[in-house]
Amino acid sequence: MSMKLTNIHERTCRFCAFCKYWYDPTNSAIEPVGGSSGFWRFDMSKEALCMKTVRMKKKSWQSCSKYECKIPY
């Protein structure tokens, strides 16, 4: 398991792991880091179906123009 640390409040953070269309109902690929600072870790080895891009399997570190963050600010 390869985890990457990121801040979801940055405009450049558009990883599939944090997208509401990336099918991970239990959010097993992501975990918060210390409260509400906006820092999260995600597992770069996970794959899931994208419900927006013709149900293609995408890796957690990928991104696309249809990204919408599933984490409430």
Q: Which residues contact 48 (CB under 8 A, 6 or more apart)?
A: 16, 22, 23, 24, 29, 57, 58, 60
Banded pLDDT at 7 (limits 50, 70, 90)? very high
What mean pLDDT do residues 9-38 have? 91
Q: Is residue 71 part of a domain?
A: no
Q: Is residue 9 part of a domain?
A: yes
Number of structural domains the chain divides into: 1
Global pTM reads: 0.88
Q: Is residue 64 part of a domain?
A: no
Tens digit of each residue's pLDDT (9 = 90 or more) over 24-71: 999 999 999 987 688 999 999 999 999 998 778 999 999 999 999 999
Q: Is residue 65 part of a domain?
A: no
Q: Is residue 68 part of a domain?
A: no
Q: Is residue 73 part of a domain?
A: no
Q: Is residue 13 part of a domain?
A: yes
Q: Is residue 31 part of a domain?
A: yes
Banded pLDDT at 17 (limits 50, 70, 90)? very high
Edge-to-edge strand list for the sheet holding 39-43: 3-7, 39-43, 30-32
H/E stretch holding 48: strand 47-49
Residue 17 domain boundaries: 3-59
Three-class DSSP category at 25: coil
Q: Are 19 and 46 in contact (CB under 8 A)?
A: no
